[in-house]
Amino acid sequence: MKILVADDDRVWAELLKTTFQEEGFDVLTAFDGMQATMHAFQSFPDLIVLDVQMPGGTGLDALRRLKMSTKTVKIPVLVVSGSEDAALPGRLEAMGAAAFVRKPASQREVVQAARALL
């Protein structure tokens, strides 16, 4: 199983990557929205863990692009964000995100949420 972790917070991305690897997943990382989209179209992961607030095209832009293409539309996207915007989860769902986890969250919680989608 291949997971793409996209987050500009590289410390968090490293922690998450390590936790997923311990659980036996292959992990790719991206640190901005553009890179996330590129990786998704190149390697077609089984799941994408996506942050919202990222430079170089936000997570929302990446999500929109992924859901517009028939090649990537079926990849479940788990959005992880520290945003306090109460409308965000609903908006993400309408855009096609499979699940939402609000930060602060532990890496285990994210891995659990990911497993539930696979």
Partner 1 sequence: VLVVDDDPVARELACGVLASLGHAVETVPTSAAARAACRERWFDLVLLDLRLPDADGLATATDIRRGGSQNAEVRLVALTGGTPDGDPTRCLAAGMDAYLAKPLRRDVLGHTLDAFFGAPPAAGDETPVDVGALLEEVRGDMALLRRLVVLFHEQSARLLADGRRAIDRGDRRALDGAAHALKSVIGHFSTGVPFEHAREVEALARGGQLGEVRERWRLLEHDVEAIGATLDTLAAEPRR
Q: Give the residues lining the site for partner 1 (CB under 8 A).
A: 8-12, 14-15, 18, 53, 55, 82, 104
Q: Which two tokens stand for residue 74?
A: 């079926």
Nearer to partner 1, 11 or 94 (CB): 11
Nearer to partner 1, 22 or 93 (CB): 22
Pairing between β-strand 77-81 and β-strand 2-6 as defined by DSSP bridges: unpaired
Residues 27, 53: Cα–Cα separation, whole Å: 21
Residues 12, 5: Cα–Cα separation, whole Å: 10
Minimum CB separation from partner 1 for residue 2, in Å? 21
Minimum CB separation from partner 1 for residue 74, in Å? 31
